[in-house]
Amino acid sequence: MKQSMTLIPTLREVPSDAEIKSHQLLFRAGFIRQNASGVYSYLPLGKRVLHNIEQIVREEMDDTGAVELLMPALQAAELWQESGRWYTYGPELMRLKDRHGREFSLGATHEEVITSLVRDEVKSYKKLPLTLYQIQTKFRDEKRPRFGLLRGREFIMKDAYSFHASQSSLDEIYELLFQAYTNVFMRCNLDFRAVIADSGAMGGKDTHEFMVLSDVGEDTIAYSDTSNYAANIEMAPVVVNYEKAEEEEKTLEKVLTENQRTIEEVSSFLKVDSTKCIKSLLFKVDEKYVLVLTRGDHEVNDIKLKNLFEAGSVELADPEVTTEVLGCPIGSLGPINVEQVEIVADFAVQYIANGVCGANEENYHYVNVNPQRDIKVSRFADLRFIQEGDPSPDGQGKILFAKGIEVGHVFKLGTRYSEAMGATYLDENGKAQPMIMGCYGIGVSRTMAAVAEQFNDEKGLVWPANIAPFELHLIAINMKDEEQAKLANELYSFFKQERFEVLFDDRAERPGVKFADSDLIGLPIRITVGKKAVEGIVELKVRKTGEMLEIHKDQLLDTVKQLLSNL
Amino acid sequence: MKQSMTLIPTLREVPSDAEIKSHQLLFRAGFIRQNASGVYSYLPLGKRVLHNIEQIVREEMDDTGAVELLMPALQAAELWQESGRWYTYGPELMRLKDRHGREFSLGATHEEVITSLVRDEVKSYKKLPLTLYQIQTKFRDEKRPRFGLLRGREFIMKDAYSFHASQSSLDEIYELLFQAYTNVFMRCNLDFRAVIADSGAMGGKDTHEFMVLSDVGEDTIAYSDTSNYAANIEMAPVVVNYEKAEEEEKTLEKVLTENQRTIEEVSSFLKVDSTKCIKSLLFKVDEKYVLVLTRGDHEVNDIKLKNLFEAGSVELADPEVTTEVLGCPIGSLGPINVEQVEIVADFAVQYIANGVCGANEENYHYVNVNPQRDIKVSRFADLRFIQEGDPSPDGQGKILFAKGIEVGHVFKLGTRYSEAMGATYLDENGKAQPMIMGCYGIGVSRTMAAVAEQFNDEKGLVWPANIAPFELHLIAINMKDEEQAKLANELYSFFKQERFEVLFDDRAERPGVKFADSDLIGLPIRITVGKKAVEGIVELKVRKTGEMLEIHKDQLLDTVKQLLSNL
């Protein structure tokens, strides 16, 4: 494509509202423009990147046997009333009325529409399993849209839904989709992890998030430095083999710790390591209070606490309530002689020897605490967040933390929607059964931003070749020079004919402007036609490495092919 | 694709609300399902047809130098307020508020969005012309959605917009786009006409509709039986060389015509041909009344009347008003001795010899009327609708009428939006000028329906090869027969490898069901693997012609290639 005929409005300044690299660069390089908060136009370059990602997604989905369809954005309220989400989805769901006053939502997700479709058209186990997907614009009225395409209100998503007659069939398709997602993000050259995520009551194995590692991510991932283990930090079990210090149990003793309240203050004041301190926190677990103990250097993971009690809700008790229940301000809280509430403790607490804890009396702590001797713990369990340096739960390597951008999600839905909406099939015995469902999403426009976030340098974007809007950036230094114009045009025709995607900067701009724009846009290979055009020699630059070489046009094709295969 | 793994819910019954063939068949053959009135899901087969049409559109648009982008569906109300259309568009524009109460429309069309984008990014004549397009879901809240995809509320459109620094540049791109549209609809195998359409004040040459000829169309096209001339019936000029009958002018005479009011009644009562009668109608043209005369067998074309007076509005006067102005009920209205209003007449009236007209006196008509002698006509002009049999305005052949489905529209917008929204460029002298614009639409989903409407028979759909969801329908009569299953699987792999699009009916259904479904779905070529599988012989059926042949698998590829090239 000739640059003079398209719209690539590059900018030198960083827009004031763009906080992160991908937003800044996609804007500055003319890939996107904002229409309203969280609502964007994809300009020609942006549209091409979207298309490339969509094609990768489509190919990988098709390979699993999933079938593409297209559902509408306008969704009748009645459907969402059937599932119940009309009342529970909240203000993220955009709603409107048609001219006759009928209520609609604007598609935020399509479980209701697809479940109603399959309910109406599939009646027999013989037609299952069935996996359907679409690539489509979605609408979610985010409270605070930000980070450009990372958190928008109108965005492009691939969503897939599978329907099954058995759990094992769901497990099988889930595995296929999991692998397809892995392929998609690998082909996008992303540094990502498939992360075990929270699936609520369904158990940790039934949902994975695909997270692109990035400092601007809003989730924390715990991953192994050795294996491919990764989990949302909330979900990672702790599998440390704690050992008790080999020291004699000393006599419990109450000591004055005036104005020492936090673990830090107490450990420093008493000159003991925080690993020897016992932290006591009062939680409200559903309707009852529970005292939860962890080591001073650990944090309570309330999801684990919730799962331990199979509770609906878990929250830290207010300081006032805590004081009321335990008769002591929170700075001196402790478990010894506590009878009024149940006490649970993280495994690590069990191994503390001659430790420290609050005395349930203001300004006093106990020293020489030996939990098994001194504290009435009802259950020891894994109750803390994993930490960097902990062994990986799969037994391979140590845990590291990273921030992640969620670009994909695979989820075993079970019968949540089929039961609510009556989507049943007849089994081999002619008996109606609710279909078992899975759902699988990829944020297509978000993936574009994630790639931009991972692939850039101080000069601009650095696209991987298979995502780049064009493979080659052909630049004529001076289009008024006859030799240069001739060779540039010749190369443009040649590479197009060889089925390369070429952006040809034929503009009447200064070379400095062209080079700066070229670096900003970030196509993998730049071919510059300059003064040596008369000898048939051009300059070739690899955007990623900065490598430059002069080359005769006769060697150009082979060199370009070889370079691209590594980008 | 294996039919057992996709969703093609065929039906034998015709759905009750589907009035026309395309709607009935797309529904019955499992291409679409309705989600709400005028809102559809494209099931796997429908999605593939859409994709094929989109690809044709994309290739032809790219060939013109137009560049693809993607704008949002959510459009801030402020933009539409700038153009003024927020107030004038009416209830077809779907509107909603976000969680902060800000108003948006759901994209019905994108003139405002694109004009604001180009206004912000293009400042110089050097960056013009620029043509941008997108393929996108549009929303229009039709009062009475009907005919399936032909008149929906959520539909897929290709819309393009061009920006220019001169009228001649617009004319040039308009020609390119016109040709591209012609190519698109030819490649869709449609029987269509590019029809001169009404462009309001801009003159008839500046807008064309692309109409697919179909009895279910809602527009009437006047086209030449010889040339490619075609116009919306409202726009076709009448170029008849009328001749006056060679008879002596007789004396004007008032005759009793009791209870004879219509042209039919009067001509029959007086035994004169309707071509000798003069029809008189009173119109309100803006704020004044005008008496309009046509021949009895002609109809007034109010668009021509409007253009003659360069008026803002034209409407037939109420009977009561007419009686009040001319002092006579409408059954005896006439132009003789009328002084109180201007009289204009169609050219044909001028050539009437010894004709008939109302006497402006109840129950009386004049006979032996000779307009040039007896009537004070201020202007003779082309004021009537063209009729079948009239000479074509381009001088070639005669006019025929046809009904048409509008699938495309090219339109010279001029500066309507750029002036309202301040989209200016600096010309060579550094002076700000409003950009000159064109806009160009193709109804993508409507084109799918138009193809279905033109290509079907009593058994189902008959897709042209380049639009068909698959090229080949491979059917195994009995998948439990080892030889058949083996050959069918072999052919499926073979044709997929040869890059054909194959639908493989591997279902455990009776042959009759498979054949009926196959005819209904309408893929160009069916390959049936039956009892002769053991000899390597299959049956080949051409859907369009019904032609059947038995063929050995070794000859299959060549035969299929040859057949497809003609479909």
User: What digits encode the pLDDT tens for the residues B210-228?
Assistant: 999 999 998 899 999 999 8
Contacts of residue A43 in chain B, CB cutoff 8 Å? 69
Contacts of residue B75 in chain A, CB cutoff 8 Å? 35
Among A69, A71, A125, A164, most B C-beta atoms within 10 A, so best to mutate, is: A69
Residue B1 lies in a domain: no
Average pLDDT over residues B355-377: 95
Average pLDDT over residues A54-65: 97
CB atoms within 10 A of CB B185: 24
pLDDT at B16: 82
Average pLDDT over residues B468-481: 96
**Pick from B402, B414, B532: nearest CA to B169:** B414
CB atoms within 10 A of CB A145: 20
User: What digits encode the pLDDT tens for the residues A300-323?
Assistant: 999 999 989 988 889 999 999 999
- At B205, the pLDDT band (50, 70, 90 cuts) reads low
Beta strand A219-224 with B502-505: parallel, antiparallel or unpaired?
unpaired
pLDDT at B201: 46
Residue A455 lies in a domain: no
CATH of the domain at A530: 3.40.50.800
Instruction: Give the nearest chain B residue to A130 (CA atoms).
Output: B5
CB contacts < 8 Å between A and B, how many? 154
Gap from B533 CA to chain A (nearest CA, Å): 26
Contacts of residue A33 in chain B, CB cutoff 8 Å? 117, 120-121
CATH of the domain at B118: 3.30.930.10
SS3 B520: helix
Question: Given 3-state DSSP classes, what are the helix, strand and coil percentages for chain B, each rounded to the nearest 5?
Answer: 35, 30, 35
Tokens at residue B468, please? 């068909």
Q: Give the residue carrying structure tokens 């015995």.
A: A429
pLDDT at B88: 86
- At A200, the pLDDT band (50, 70, 90 cuts) reads low
**Pick from A497, A442, A496: nearest CA to A472:** A496
**A92 and A229 belong to one structural domain:** yes
Asked if the model's pLDDT at residue A202 lies above 70, the reply is: no
Inform me whether the C-beta atom of residue B50 falls under 8 Å from chain A C-beta atoms: yes
Residue B536 lies in a domain: yes
**B57 and B174 belong to one structural domain:** yes
What share of chain B has pLDDT > 90, as a percent?
90
**A80 and A169 belong to one structural domain:** yes
**A300 and A356 belong to one structural domain:** yes
**B442 and B480 belong to one structural domain:** no
pLDDT at A311: 87
Nearest to B98 among A69, A102, A141 (CB): A141
For residue A129, cis peptide bond before it (omega within 30 degrees of 0): yes
Gap from B471 CA to chain A (nearest CA, Å): 17
CB contact under 8 A, B132 and A5: no
Question: Given B323, B352, B381, which residue is the final one in a domain?
Answer: B381
- B36 Cα distance to chain centroid: 24
CB contact under 8 A, A96 and B99: no
- Cα distances (angstroms) measured from residue B556 to each of A254, B526, B539, B552, B564: 94, 12, 10, 6, 12
Amino acid at A59: E
Residue A42 lies in a domain: no
Inform me whether the C-beta atom of residue B548 falls under 8 Å from chain A C-beta atoms: no
- B548-552, strands of its sheet edge to edge: B502-505, B472-476, B525-529, B537-542, B548-552
Residue B95 lies in a domain: no
- B557 Cα distance to chain centroid: 39
Instruction: State the average pLDDT for chain A.
Output: 94
Side-chain-facing half-sphere of B333: CA atoms under 13 Å? 28
Asked if the model's pLDDT at residue B204 lies above 50, the reply is: no
CATH of the domain at A319: 3.90.960.10
Q: Structural domain of residue B188, as residue ranges?
A: 17-71+110-237+401-452
CB contact under 8 A, B7 and A154: no
Gap from A280 CA to chain B (nearest CA, Å): 41
Asked if the model's pLDDT at residue B301 lies above 70, the reply is: yes
pLDDT at A240: 92
Total number of domains constituting chain B:
3
Query: Cα(A308)–Cα(A380) distance, rounded to whole angstroms?
Result: 10
Asked if the model's pLDDT at residue B333 lies above 50, the reply is: yes
Question: Given B409, B425, B452, which residue is the final one in a domain?
Answer: B452
User: What digits encode the pLDDT tens for the residues A68-118?
Assistant: 999 999 999 999 999 999 998 889 999 999 999 999 999 999 999 999 999
Query: Cα(A209)–Cα(A193) distance, rounded to whole angstroms?
Result: 8
Q: Which of residues 366-425 of B touch A (CB under 8 A)?
A: none
**B376 and B264 belong to one structural domain:** yes
Asked if the model's pLDDT at residue A548 lies above 50, the reply is: yes
**B372 and B428 belong to one structural domain:** no
- Cα distances (angstroms) measured from residue B531 to each of B85, B505, B515, B536: 66, 16, 16, 10
What share of chain B has pLDDT > 70, as a percent?
99
pLDDT at B200: 55
pLDDT at A90: 86
User: What digits encode the pLDDT tens for the residues B178-202?
Assistant: 999 999 999 999 999 999 887 654 4
**A283 and A158 belong to one structural domain:** no
Asked if the model's pLDDT at residue B203 lies above 80, the reply is: no
Q: Which of residues 484-523 of A touch B (CB under 8 A)?
A: 508
Among B28, B33, B74, most A C-beta atoms within 10 A, so best to mutate, is: B74
Q: Which of residues 130-159 of A touch B (CB under 8 A)?
A: 130, 132, 134, 137, 139, 141, 143, 153-154
Instruction: Give the nearest chain A residue to B133 (CA atoms).
Output: A44
**A187 and A291 belong to one structural domain:** no
Gap from A172 CA to chain B (nearest CA, Å): 15
pLDDT at B494: 97
- At A204, the pLDDT band (50, 70, 90 cuts) reads very low
Instruction: Give the nearest chain A residue to B125 (CA atoms).
Output: A4
Gap from B493 CA to chain A (nearest CA, Å): 14
What is the interface pTM, i.e. ipTM, of the complex?
A: 0.88
Residue A201 lies in a domain: yes
Is the separation of the CB atoms in A32 and A43 below 8 Å? yes
pLDDT at A201: 46
CB contact under 8 A, A76 and B36: yes
Q: Give the residue carrying structure tokens 């490598």.
A: A547
pLDDT at A206: 82
**A342 and A431 belong to one structural domain:** no
**A112 and A227 belong to one structural domain:** yes
Residue B231 lies in a domain: yes
Asked if the model's pLDDT at residue B399 lies above 70, the reply is: yes
Asked if the model's pLDDT at residue B394 lies above 50, the reply is: yes
User: What digits encode the pLDDT tens for the residues B230-243?
Assistant: 999 988 999 999 98
Contacts of residue B89 in chain A, CB cutoff 8 Å? none
**A219 and A310 belong to one structural domain:** no
pLDDT at A410: 96
pLDDT at B199: 63
Residue B373 lies in a domain: yes
Tokens at residue A268, please? 């420093």
pLDDT at B313: 86
